Amino acid sequence: MKIQVIDNQIEAALKQLKKQMLKDGLYQEMKRRQHYEKPSVKRKRKSAQARKKRLKALKRSREHESD
């Protein structure tokens, strides 16, 4: 990840960096790695994420078809 600072505008670059980190899921990853996660909990979390992603895609496709 690379963010350019133009004309010493640190605040703007920081804002851009935070936005990029949120988009890439780095904050979530850092929070998750703070403590050990049991394999069973990891499987449940991944399964829930997949379910959420699948439902979101299904909802998006239904909205697209109705338009």
pTM of the predicted structure, to 2 decimals: 0.57
User: What pLDDT, on the 0 to 100 scale, is given for residue 64?
Assistant: 83
- Domain range for 66: 37-67
pLDDT higher at 40 or 63 = 40
Asked whether residue 10 falls in the same domain as residue 27, the answer is yes
Q: Give me the mean pLDDT over the 14-38 stretch.
A: 93
Q: Assign 63 a pLDDT band (cuts: 50, 70, 90).
A: confident
Same domain, 30 and 2: yes
Q: Which amino acid is at 14?
A: L
59 pLDDT above the threshold of 90 = yes
What count of other Cβ atoms lies within 10 Å of the Cβ of residue 17?
Answer: 15
Ramachandran quadrant class, 8 (left: phi over 0; alpha: psi -120 to 50; beta: rest): left
Structure token pair of residue 37? 């996660």
Are both 41 and 23 inside the same structural domain? no
pLDDT given at position 14: 94
Radius of gyration of the CA atoms of the chain, in A: 18
User: pLDDT grade, residue 67 (50/70/90)?
Assistant: low
- Claim to verify: residue 31 and residue 9 sit in the same structural domain: yes
